[in-house]
Amino acid sequence: IFFNQKAEEPVPVQTEEAKEEPEVWTKNTSVLFKDTTSTCTIKINDSTYRMYLMAEGGIFYTDSTDGKTFGAKVPTGLTQTPGKMISNPSVLKVADTDWIMVYEEQPEKKPGGGPDGPPSVQTQRNLYLATSKDGKTFIKVGIAIDSSKEDNFFASVPDLIKTPDRKIRMYYVSGGEAIGSQISSDNGRTWTREAGYRLTDRAVDPDVLYEDGKWTMYYAILPLPESGSRNAIYKAVSKDGLTWEKDEAKLIEPSAEMGFVVDPDVIKTGDTYRMFFGESTGDIGAPGAINLYFADREK
C-alpha cells in the first residue's frame, strides 16, 4: 500500500470500456492477518502456496496447502535498513534456482508523524532487488528503480510478471496516482521504463495475471472526497499488457462507510480465483490498522 500525496499530473492514456460481464467476488469476513497488507502470493506446486509479506521489521514468507490457512511466518533474511521501512514485496521464480524479489524502501515515519506531504527527496520511495536460490532466503542486490529519475520520487507496490517473449515486466505505482511499467531483459538486474502510463486517474496497487494470451489487472482507485467518490478495487484487461481497457464495476468495496480497500493479490486455486487484500475501517491516509482479508470468485 501507499498513501497518496499530490504528484505531478501524469499524461492520460486513452482506454476503452471493457465489454465483459462484471466479476462477482464474495468477501470472507474473517481477518487472515492483522496489521498486514500488500502481500505477494504464488503457487509453488500443486500442494503449496507461498505468501510473502512485511512483518516485524523485515520481509517474511508463510506457506499454505489450501491458499487460505497459512502457517508461521518465516524470515527471508531481508531486514529494514536503519531509518527506512521495508515493504511491498513482489517475488518471481525465474528458474529452478533463480528467484528475484523487488521490494520498496521509504523513510521510516516517527511515531505520531503526520502525512508525508507531496513526494520529494525527503519522502522518496525506491524499489530494490534481492535474489534467492530457493525462494526462501534472499540476498539484497541493490536498487532496481530510483524514483528520482522518472517517477517524481515515488515508486511503490511493484508487481512482477513474465512476458510471452521471456522478459520480465514490473508494474508499479509511479508518481503517486498512476500505474507505470518497466521491462527487464536480464532477469531483473536492470530495468527500462516503458513509455506513458498503463492506467491513470488515481489508479494504484496493480496485480497482473497473464493467462491464455490475455492480460488482467486488478487495482485500487484512490477516493476523491471532494467529488464524493469512494475507494474500491477494480479490473482492467489488455491484449498486450501495455494498453488497458477498464471495467467500471466495483469488485471489492470497503465494509465501512469511511473505510478503504487496497493491494489486491490474486491467485488461482483450482477453479477458484482468490484475492487477498488489505482493508481498514478508517479513512485512507489516516492512522489505523490495515488487516488482510480474502475474497473468492468462481471461474
Tens-digit pLDDT profile for residues 3-38? 444 444 455 554 444 456 789 999 999 999 999 999
Cell 502525512 -> residue: 115
pTM of this structure: 0.90
pLDDT in tens, 107-126: 987 655 555 678 889 999 99
Residues 183-202, mean pLDDT to the nearest whole number: 98
Q: In the structure grid, which three cell numbers stand for residue 239, read together? A: 491484449
DSSP structure string for 168-180: EEEEEEETTSSEE
DSSP-derived 3-state class of residue 225: helix
**Residue 158, Ramachandran bin (φ over 0: left; ψ between -120 and 50: alpha; else beta):** beta
| Phi, psi of 285, rounded to the nearest 5 degrees | 90, -15
At 274, the amino acid letter reads: R
The domain ranges of the chain are 38-251
How much is the pLDDT for 282?
78
Looking at the domain that runs over 38-251, which CATH code has it been given?
Answer: 2.115.10.20
Longest Cα–Cα distance in the chain: 50
Spatial CB neighbours of 264, under 8 Å, sequence gap ≥ 6: 205, 207, 218, 219, 220, 233, 252, 275, 276, 277
N- to C-terminal Cα separation, the chain? 27
DSSP-derived 3-state class of residue 226: helix
The answer to whether 204 touches 10, Cβ cutoff 8 Å, is no
The answer to whether 194 touches 184, Cβ cutoff 8 Å, is no
The answer to whether 172 touches 183, Cβ cutoff 8 Å, is no
pLDDT in tens, 37-92: 999 999 999 899 999 999 988 999 999 999 999 999 999 999 999 999 999 999 99
Residues 150-177, mean pLDDT to the nearest whole number: 98
Instruction: DSSP letter for 229, please.
Output: B
How much is the pLDDT for 110?
64
How much is the pLDDT for 154?
98
Residues 160-182, mean pLDDT to the nearest whole number: 98
Residues 119-139, mean pLDDT to the nearest whole number: 96
